[in-house]
Structure 1
Amino acid sequence: MLSRGDLTDAEWAVLAPLLPVSNNRCGRWRDHRQVINGIIHRLGTGVQWRELPERFGPWKTVHKRHLLWSADGTWEMLLQHVQATADADGDLDWNVNVDSTSVRAHQHAAAPRTRHPPHPVPQKGTTKISSSTRAHHPAAPAGGGGPPGEALGRSRGGLTTKIHVAAEGRCRPLSLLITPGQRADCTQFEPVMDKIRVPRTGLGPPRRTPDSVGADKAYSNRKIRTYLRKRGIRHVIPEKKDHKAARLRRGSLGGRPPGFDKDRYKERNTVERAIGKLKQFRAVATRYDKRGYVYLGTVTAAALLTWLRS
């Protein structure tokens, strides 16, 4: 399966140069490859950390490394690196599509302890991340049903989290965002688009503007269309029936109907397929992580493997 199996030599060759060699507090890190393989095993199986096979080393080491890299942006830095390499090789399709998916939260993810700060602060020098790629994961607002900042929401199915995804044309995630499960898709369109940031391998600022954007009717509103027009991005979003009726009632004051390319809209399935790839990882398909930033790190690590193995 895609979600299982250790890193291949080719995959490790991509990641190895980007990882820190030593920890200022404890000397050398335990073998990164062994630890990452343990994280991959947990991603694919959803097993409890303490149940990891012995071949991955002490489970606490694997667990703490994942917590640290989720907090300081290492997973996102690695994801941006493979995206930048693909873009430089002409292997990134900038026809982007946006969608979301809801994920059930396991009972182990409910009611995390709140006496600790929401984001553990790593000691200076413990990771090798440049200031230009360092990522911060602001706490998602509370949505009723979970503690503030943990992206747990209450819906008919119980506690849920929603993953918002912008995917490029080859079914790979460009940006990721998590919110409480009942949060409306349209409210997160701009944040997930603003998180698209593919660094250049040479000089120049990161690329942030896609060639076009496709989305379903959940994203059909005036605010989103205005946002895309201001950024000069072509978009294909079908008009809702009530919006169309209201526009027609206003006659000439209602303005022209938004353009709609049926052939381009058919490509929207790429984001659904990207979500399907993410959900092949059991630790993504069901949320076991208590903390919101840790679950976002879990999803980002799954997206990184999707890129490495595409």
Structure 2
Amino acid sequence: MSRSSSAERGSRPSRRRGRVPAALLIPAGLGLLFLVLPLAGLVIRAPWATLPGRLTEPGALTALRLSVQTATLATVLCLVLGVPLAWMLARVDFPGRRLVRALVTVPLVLPPVVGGVALLLVFGRRGLLGGWLDATFGITLPFTTAGVVLAESFVAMPFLVIAVEGALRAADHRFEEAAATLGASRWTTFTHVTLPLVSPGLAAGAVLCWARALGEFGATITFAGNYPGRTQTMPLAVYLALETDLESAIVLSLVLLVVSVGILVALRDRWMTSA
């Protein structure tokens, strides 16, 4: 009886583990309140009576359409360039790998405006590559829609690389080794074995990348400007409306919030919960 009772006591979860210390509960609650209150204020202060009319204004629809298009193109560009980069960081042992990983994460901590200035110095007409692109191919990137995509890709790609690299490191290598043993080429193994293995991490990285690109402001306005219909994305439209019409700024901010949260929730239910 003593053994069984001790076993039962050992199998029961400790009640003390379920208690949250007040020293942690209070700041946790304040932290949650700090994050939720601004969003709640945005919803409460929204001009719901005039919301439909403001949403159908040509400027708002154009900015929203441009934001979705450029964020999607930026995500595609990040996938094309970022997935191979993440694979190299996760699977290839080369000198200076730690330095490369650190450089990849620099845009995460770099002020976006500084990133925009750096892009101008490289891709501007007098930049390191911009002058050559303009003289050779007639391609001008600053203050164009392509410049918006480039700016968004610069600030968003680290999110994708970090997520995919982590998924690659956690993936079971035995499946890839089995495919190689059966005669599959490296490319076939990568496309048919590796990518399906890391698909949850890849999807999560793509979602974060898209959301970051959608909300990008500093690098975009510095490198691409704020031209309606061409480079004015939703964050830039919010900034412009804030100076003249507060209610329009609230409406645009609310749309951006709803789109971002909706996309994140939908993709999380589909992919992230299976990780």
Bigger proportion of residues as strand = 1
Give the TM-score normalised by structure 2.
Answer: 0.24
Q: Which one has the bigger helix percentage?
A: 2
Taking structure 1 as the reference length, what is the TM-score of the superposition? 0.22
Higher Rg of the two aligned structures = 2
